[in-house]
Amino acid sequence: MDNFSTEPQRRQIHDVTEVNRFLTKLYSVMGLAVLVSALTAYLTMTVFRSAVMKMPVAMMWIILLVPFGLAIGISFKADRNPAASFIMLMILSIIYGFEFSLLAGYYTGTQITTAFVSSAAVFIAMACFGSFTHKDLANWESYLSAALIGLLVALTVNMFLKNPMVDYIFSIIGVIIFTGLTASDAQRMKDIYNNFGDQVSTNGLAILGALQLYLDFINIFMFLLEIFGMGGNDRR
């Protein structure tokens, strides 16, 4: 849903109170998505552990691929049908929570907690920076997006090489990329609201922003977890 351009003429049609109300809505939805993922992971690892262990491999692969379709659906539906997009975001959060529960067994509780707290601190700092800085971060997004594509290609290649040191380095690069994307995405959503908030559904725009920032947070968390897991060298 990036049909909006905040360049080259910026205009502000909302006052500070309206912008803050929009940001509160955006981050509330994003925080709810993170909470749903955390609760799902906890329930999967405790209450539903035995059922998950009996789940067919084919079903797991289907579940792993569903988030891609949901993310695309939210991007296209957010403005037209905010309610459906919100439901899809919650389903996406549940699936990511389930996926994390499958990985959690490879890490200690301390590593998971440290990664989560560190991710939250980084995310909050960069989201605040992106939301309130007067510096134009539009160029960040183009450079970081290109770097992300390169990283995905490199990670795919290393899946076959299986070099732990390369994984460690790529995880650090991943944290840097998504840290920058957090700031640029936060600023972009604020700018879109300022420029087009009277033309689109505010709820839909908040859900779209929540999706993007949720994915930024999840990626920061997963890369940091990989770093702490390898650095601690005491996986379960």
- What are 48-98's pLDDT values in tens digits? 777 777 777 777 778 878 888 999 999 888 888 999 999 999 999 999 999
CB atoms within 10 A of CB 64: 13
Residue 112's alpha-carbon distances to 48, 81, 104, 172, in angstroms, are: 20, 36, 8, 17
Residue 186's alpha-carbon distances to 48, 73, 160, in angstroms, are: 36, 21, 35
Spell out the long-range contacts of 68-76 with Cβ–Cβ below 8 A and sequence spacing 24 or more: 70/95, 71/211, 71/215, 74/207, 74/208, 74/211, 75/1, 75/208, 75/211, 76/1
Average per-residue pLDDT in the chain?
87
**In angstroms, rounded to a whole number, what is the distance separating the alpha carbons of residues 70 and 74?**
6
- What are 150-196's pLDDT values in tens digits? 999 999 998 888 888 999 999 999 999 999 999 999 999 998 888 87
**In angstroms, rounded to a whole number, what is the distance separating the alpha carbons of residues 213 and 28?**
11
What residues contact 25, with CB distance under 8 A and at least 6 apart?
202, 203, 206
**Residue ranges covered by each domain of the chain:** 16-232
pTM listed for this prediction: 0.87
CB atoms within 10 A of CB 211: 25
